[in-house]
Amino acid sequence: MRNFKILKSLTAAGVALLAFAPGIASAAVEPETAFILNSFSFIINGALVMWMAAGFAMLEAGLVRKKNTATICLKNIALYSVSGLTFYVVGYNLMYLDVTGFIGSFSPFWSADDSAALAGTFDEGSYSASSDWFFQMVFVATAASIVSGALAERIKLWPFLGFVFLLTAIVYPIQGSWVWGGGWLSEMGFSDYAGSTLVHSVGGWAALTGAIILGARKGKYTKDGRVAPIPGSNLPLATLGTFILWLGWFGFNGGSVLSMGTAEAVIEMANVFANTNMAAVGGVLAAMVMTQILYKKVDLTMALNGAIAGLVSITAEPADPTIGMAIMIGAVGGVLVVIAVPLLDKLKIDDVVGAISAHLVAGIWGTIAVVFSDADATLFVQATGIVSIGAFVVVTSTILWLALKYTVGIRVNEEDEVNGLDKAELGLEAYPEFGPSS
Amino acid sequence: MRNFKILKSLTAAGVALLAFAPGIASAAVEPETAFILNSFSFIINGALVMWMAAGFAMLEAGLVRKKNTATICLKNIALYSVSGLTFYVVGYNLMYLDVTGFIGSFSPFWSADDSAALAGTFDEGSYSASSDWFFQMVFVATAASIVSGALAERIKLWPFLGFVFLLTAIVYPIQGSWVWGGGWLSEMGFSDYAGSTLVHSVGGWAALTGAIILGARKGKYTKDGRVAPIPGSNLPLATLGTFILWLGWFGFNGGSVLSMGTAEAVIEMANVFANTNMAAVGGVLAAMVMTQILYKKVDLTMALNGAIAGLVSITAEPADPTIGMAIMIGAVGGVLVVIAVPLLDKLKIDDVVGAISAHLVAGIWGTIAVVFSDADATLFVQATGIVSIGAFVVVTSTILWLALKYTVGIRVNEEDEVNGLDKAELGLEAYPEFGPSS
Amino acid sequence: MRNFKILKSLTAAGVALLAFAPGIASAAVEPETAFILNSFSFIINGALVMWMAAGFAMLEAGLVRKKNTATICLKNIALYSVSGLTFYVVGYNLMYLDVTGFIGSFSPFWSADDSAALAGTFDEGSYSASSDWFFQMVFVATAASIVSGALAERIKLWPFLGFVFLLTAIVYPIQGSWVWGGGWLSEMGFSDYAGSTLVHSVGGWAALTGAIILGARKGKYTKDGRVAPIPGSNLPLATLGTFILWLGWFGFNGGSVLSMGTAEAVIEMANVFANTNMAAVGGVLAAMVMTQILYKKVDLTMALNGAIAGLVSITAEPADPTIGMAIMIGAVGGVLVVIAVPLLDKLKIDDVVGAISAHLVAGIWGTIAVVFSDADATLFVQATGIVSIGAFVVVTSTILWLALKYTVGIRVNEEDEVNGLDKAELGLEAYPEFGPSS
């Protein structure tokens, strides 16, 4: 600690010298430094978003039955991999390159170009090409992750991955180009900061059409109209998955500032971190209170879904609200999920993990809630975005699901469903020493 | 790689030009850059601290019995949420705003003010308001997390959360204001870098009073004076929880440098990372050797608690010790936890996860150990801090526990305890397909 | 958002002033800022590498049987601790201090020296001493982690830790000095960016010699030449472990840029993140396709090992390949692991988790693959590095294993192996309430 004083006096000397050149002293961040900070924000926040893949895997592994656990683990690591491949081959350019209103470029195989920066030219807000690509790639994987949970326990592995391939190669990038690619919805003023609609609702719509076309799990809805509860097999894993998603969401929303090279950007990023955190808090507490009131007991899985719904709700605008508003926005999300889960069951739409409620319903709410804190957002434009993207995804994913259904088939046979997908599709068990899978 | 040379020569040119203005070249980090780095340190390290909530959840889920696992998961996500809410509503201002020796402001609803930075004024060491708030918020959640593990398997959910509400709204912020808020202990020279006392002992004292008032789990202490071991149900989860805490602790101690905008700060932060890591190493090895000597076997849960005790021990001063000292400080913590756990059992104080031993005992040790590396710290002042904060928390939390006990009640009834809290409080099971819960 | 404009105009003013001193405006990052960024890269990426210890622990805990789960958890936290201690006591200096071709200094007890930086002198590319030490320490732990999985379920605890002690104190640092310490292989031009050979193959060779000397698990290879599958007990944990490793690998490879204080460095780091991610993607997809073709089913554990093999493969050169090349390099790694696992079984080398296939085989491949993207690398030099380091580690670790075998013994007795190491070595069970361990 002795050297502290030396440094201090040197600093003082430096400051004194700078007094003769105040304009330089108060200048903005040096351009190359800003470039570094912008790029680093993308990769470190992107790594947190990649971590969400583990969160979805654990959440879903905890909420399915033992006999389908290994399969859902495989689906999650596979869908992440498929998403990455397609986004490299076609997705990124379709979403971001030469977007002409409704679609980008079909030019395949994205490649990095950092020549300007390497030549010493740093435009305001610029960053390394790969850092941006990496950050965008982990987003498309998130959208795909939402689908796997809803359709668990009865969908075939390879057809599911086929859907993921087409969702991430075509459906996600095209609608993404409308907003983040600078297309027509962006020009109209539609605002979706980190993807309540573009990521979460898209995954939710694809899951909804899939759940309807695929049908419910055997035994979920009895002939006399009852809903048979099928409890998740490993709730600590589901809890872990939720905490992982919560942590990853700091990167998801925080990285969506898209820069960190100015004081304004880091102030915004800090607001995003705090609001993201507190929306999840609101979602948890609202879901707990709701289930206590409705069912006289607190439901752990609803509390977990409340956290996720809170996170989804704030994702469309995590920067502008005050912390109090963020808590409220998240809490409404938490309430909605408690209402939506039994409602879907009434409609006999079987969503194994509550993904449609947490991602689609809360995603719509979050996109609307932008109008409360962003004066430039209007209810009409926000609704236009929700409806147009929703319609596009419903139509395209319905076509894809039906095409898969009537060609390769999407559902395992009844015997395999009863015995579990792990035995049927993988030929192994997730917990071979923990007694028979029921 | 070709462009490398271009960049190099540009750099050389820049350096040559700068040679004419050496005062500027050797000036400290440009103020806005420092502001960005300071703020970013808070949010990225704060995210790691948030992750500790998952660590506590997994550690505790692994160390309770199957029948109480879902409940402890719920308590952990709920206590984090309650802590966040109260810290926003009242805690932060009570701890940091206009502290007058013994308490801050009761002004409710913290709000961010970044006007100076947004106007281009960057005081030395300044940072975004939300970044600091977020970092402080995750600390209060950590203190609350410590309580849940000790009192697991017999405390009622809502009364527990009621205690958390009052602990995080009043008890934690008031004692926190004495040191980190600049109050009387701070003026006296009490030194607690990242909270061996302010966070870990506070949680530990609240757990201790709770454990005494709540009483031991049924069957833990038999009438003939024996201690019945109640093994944890899922040790890999407990191991995972410990690793999560270890990772999160880099943020806990590292972010407590409170800045990253100078070379000195980042040197200090790196020392903190290295020392934090090595204190945990010392704690693990000491606990392993101790249990091998005492019991002729190595106890995994003791090794895990050794890691935590090592981390708690270094938390009061992770910057100044050499790595060798950090190992020793952590090792003593590891030894203490091996001694303290059976000692508490002798006193019939039932701490399910060893939280009192790892956080309170090691927290006291760590606060004392500051005198070995910080010449400005004295044993008298350190002891004054330990005792005064200890007395305050013991008195207030005793009052709170007793008030809760004689109003709403804090303990589940005997039948519910035997059947497990998951069925009684949540109406579900954590592992419904893994055989009956005993 | 109102203040945005104020900031903008201030920025514009600053830029205008700077126009009079363009040399200064376009100068490289201010030296102290670069020092901060370089140091921060080491500690944040190093923390991610520390997290890989949890990944190995979960992967291995998921792939052993119930009765050996607690022991493998203990081994993982213990080996990390032993590695840290030895690297402080002797390893770091042996690897990096005064390296004279084949070995560094035996001077014990590394200590930090930041006097230059604290005096305000920042050489190009400089960083805080502890940040570098911490980053190097977590690498040696990774090498040791590879060994524990291969030898699980039959090796004694303390002799295993004795091997780890000697591996991390002597074997790893000496060969490390040949390349990263600037020794003879480095001078020859051998290229191993983040340690396909120096870390992963080293761990793999030590595991291979250990597996041969230790012998297979009882019942693994039957007398009639069949290989009895011994399935892992908890595949979601193994999946989690793989995701943790994947995340940690961003730090492993990304931090190996060794700086972040220039645009070039952060561009390189972003390329490393993207390539690391996509090599894992390639490994997963290749292993899935391979197992589908060979076995008509997709094997989850092979997909997980495919991810790891992909990551190991890209580790020798994650910066230079295009994303397409990175996918291919990882995919070859994934193919190799699917071939190597049954091959080792044919040779009756019992590797519980597939560590030798994923780390050694893919490590060799990755080191060779450097020649495809780095024009300065030659097959001859790469092979020289692979062979010389391989020979050194095989010889030294064989000596160590044999010395341990014929003194303290390395294998538990048959009864303990049947009953499980948890009962024999720790006196407890990992899952005491989940039915008998078989």
Name which of B79, B45, B54 is nearest B240 in CA terms. Answer: B54
Sign of torsion over alpha carbons B313, B315, B318, B321: negative
Mean pLDDT of B168-175: 98
Contacts 24+ apart (CB under 8 A), C176-183: C176/C95, C177/C94, C177/C95, C177/C96, C177/C99, C177/C102, C177/C103, C177/C104, C178/C102, C178/C388, C178/C389, C179/C385, C180/C95, C180/C96, C181/C95, C181/C96, C181/C99, C181/C104, C182/C99, C183/C99, C183/C100, C183/C101, C183/C102, C183/C103
A257 contacts A319 by C-beta, under 8 angstroms: yes
Predicted local confidence at residue A437, as pLDDT: 64
Predicted local confidence at residue C438, as pLDDT: 55
Sign of torsion over alpha carbons B252, B257, B259, B265: negative
Residue C302 touches partner B, C-beta closer than 8 Å: no
Backbone φ and ψ for A222, nearest 5 degrees, come out as -80, 165
- Cβ <8 Å between B277 and C84: yes
Backbone φ and ψ for B84, nearest 5 degrees, come out as -65, -45
Question: Quick one: how far is CA B330 from the chain centroid?
Answer: 15
Q: Which residue of B has its CA nearest to C237?
A: B236
Of A17, A285, A297, the CB nearest to B426: A297
Confidence band (pLDDT; 50, 70, 90) for C437?
low
Q: Which residue of C has its CA nearest to B115?
A: C3
Residues of chain A positioned with their CB less than 8 A from the CB of B85: 278, 281, 285, 327
C272 contacts C266 by C-beta, under 8 angstroms: no
Residue C121 touches partner A, C-beta closer than 8 Å: no
Among A62-66, A146-150, A224-228, C165-169, where is mean pLDDT lowest? A224-228
Name which of B407, B339, B342, B347 is nearest B215 in CA terms. Answer: B347
Sign of torsion over alpha carbons C91, C95, C98, C102: positive
* C98: closest CA of chain A, how far (Å): 26
Tokens of C110: 């590394």
CB atoms within 10 A of CB B227: 14
* Dist CA B171 CA B399 (whole Å): 11
Task: Tally A–C CB contacts below 8 A.
Answer: 233
Of A44, A243, A438, the CB nearest to B53: A243
pTM as predicted: 0.95
Backbone φ and ψ for B297, nearest 5 degrees, come out as -140, 155
Of B17, B295, B303, the CB nearest to C27: B17
Tokens of B159: 């009364």
SS3 B221: strand
> Does the structure show a pLDDT above 80 at C27?
no
Residue A107 touches partner C, C-beta closer than 8 Å: no
Sign of torsion over alpha carbons A416, A418, A421, A427: negative
Q: Which residue of C has its CA nearest to A319?
A: C1
Sign of torsion over alpha carbons B29, B30, B31, B34: negative
ipTM of the complex: 0.94
- CB-based burial, B146-156: b 16+ in 10 Å, e otherwise: bbbbbbbbbbb
Residues of chain C positioned with their CB less than 8 A from the CB of B1: 320
Residue B230 touches partner C, C-beta closer than 8 Å: no
Mean pLDDT of C279-292: 98
Residue C64 touches partner B, C-beta closer than 8 Å: no
Beta bridge partners, C411, equal: C155
Mean pLDDT of B43-69: 98
Of A27, A36, A78, the CB nearest to C263: A36
Report chain B's mean pLDDT, rounded to a whole number: 93
* Dist CA C309 CA C364 (whole Å): 11
Predicted local confidence at residue C435, as pLDDT: 85
Distances (CA, A) of B153 to A304, B413, B421: 21, 11, 7
Residue A351 touches partner C, C-beta closer than 8 Å: no
SS3 B406: coil
Tokens of A358: 């947490």
Q: Where are the alpha helices (DSSP H) in C19-111?
A: 22-25, 31-63, 69-86, 92-96
Which residue of B3, B118, B300, B429 to mutate against C (max C Cβ within 10 Å)?
B300
Predicted local confidence at residue A218, as pLDDT: 96
Q: Is B215 left (phi over 0), alpha (psi -120 to 50) or beta?
A: left
Q: Angle at Cα C161 formed by Cα C160 and Cα C162, nearest 5°?
A: 90
Predicted local confidence at residue B437, as pLDDT: 64
* B6: closest CA of chain A, how far (Å): 6
Predicted local confidence at residue A3, as pLDDT: 32
Confidence band (pLDDT; 50, 70, 90) for B16?
very low
* Dist CA B202 CA A347 (whole Å): 50
Tokens of A103: 């679609």
Q: In this predicted model, what pLDDT tens digit does every residue of B214-243 receive, in sequence order?
A: 999 999 999 988 999 999 999 999 999 999
Of A243, A278, A288, the CB nearest to B88: A278
- Cβ <8 Å between A236 and B53: no
> Does the structure show a pLDDT above 50 at C17?
no
- The answer for residues whose C-beta is within 8 angstroms of residue C7's C-beta and 6 or more apart is A262, A263, A264, B118, B119, B120
Residue B109 touches partner A, C-beta closer than 8 Å: yes
For residues A438 and C312, the model is more confident at C312
Q: In this predicted model, what pLDDT tens digit does every residue of C33-42 receive, in sequence order?
A: 999 999 999 9
Of A43, A85, A134, the CB nearest to C327: A85
Tokens of C66: 């119930």
CB atoms within 10 A of CB A293: 9
> Does the structure show a pLDDT above 70 at C9?
no
Residue A262 touches partner B, C-beta closer than 8 Å: yes
Q: In this predicted model, what pLDDT tens digit does every residue of C108-140 receive, in sequence order?
A: 999 999 999 999 999 999 999 999 999 999 999
Place of tokens 């203990």: C74
Of A44, A73, A109, the CB nearest to C44: A44
CB-count burial class (<10 Å; 0-12, 13-18, 19+) for C3: middle
Mean pLDDT of C259-265: 97
Tokens of C180: 């990263």
* A222: closest CA of chain C, how far (Å): 31
Which residue of B17, B32, B49, B121 to mutate against A (max A Cβ within 10 Å)?
B32
Q: Which residue of A has its CA nearest to B268?
A: A1
Confidence band (pLDDT; 50, 70, 90) for B4?
very low
* A39: closest CA of chain B, how far (Å): 14
- Cβ <8 Å between A28 and B27: no
Residues of chain A positioned with their CB less than 8 A from the CB of B423: none
Predicted local confidence at residue C88, as pLDDT: 98
* A63: closest CA of chain C, how far (Å): 12
Single-letter residue type at B134? F
* Dist CA B147 CA B356 (whole Å): 9
Mean pLDDT of B262-267: 98
SS3 B186: helix
Q: In this predicted model, what pLDDT tens digit does every residue of B179-200 receive, in sequence order?
A: 999 999 999 999 999 999 999 9
Q: In this predicted model, what pLDDT tens digit does every residue of C196-246 receive, in sequence order?
A: 999 999 999 999 999 999 999 999 999 998 999 999 999 999 999 999 999
Q: Give the largest CA-CA distance in chain B.
A: 85
Q: Angle at Cα C361 formed by Cα C358 and Cα C366, nearest 5°?
A: 95
> Does the structure show a pLDDT above 70 at A22?
no
Predicted local confidence at residue A27, as pLDDT: 55
C422 contacts C430 by C-beta, under 8 angstroms: yes
Beta bridge partners, A155, equal: A411
* C394: closest CA of chain A, how far (Å): 34
Tokens of C124: 């190009």
Q: Where are the alpha helices (DSSP H) in A255-373?
A: 263-295, 300-314, 323-346, 355, 362-373
Interface of B with A in 128-147 (CB under 8 A): 128-131, 133-134, 137
Q: Angle at Cα C150 formed by Cα C360 and Cα C408, nearest 5°?
A: 120
- Cβ <8 Å between C235 and A428: yes
Distances (CA, A) of C416 to B322, C65, C153, C423: 42, 14, 10, 8
* Dist CA B122 CA B32 (whole Å): 6
Percent of chain A residues topping a pLDDT of 90: 92
C238 contacts C62 by C-beta, under 8 angstroms: yes
- Cβ <8 Å between C263 and A32: yes
- Cβ <8 Å between A430 and C236: yes
Of C11, C265, C298, the CB nearest to A28: C11
Interface of B with A in 320-349 (CB under 8 A): 320
Residue C109 touches partner B, C-beta closer than 8 Å: yes
Q: How far apart are the first and last CA of chain A?
A: 63
Predicted local confidence at residue C436, as pLDDT: 79
Interface of C with A in 185-204 (CB under 8 A): none
Beta bridge partners, C155, equal: C411
Interface of C with A in 43-62 (CB under 8 A): 44, 48
Residues of chain C positioned with their CB less than 8 A from the CB of A43: 250, 254, 269-270, 273
Predicted local confidence at residue B27, as pLDDT: 54
The fold of the A31-113+128-425 domain, in CATH, is: Ammonium transporter fold (1.10.3430)
* Dist CA C422 CA C436 (whole Å): 13
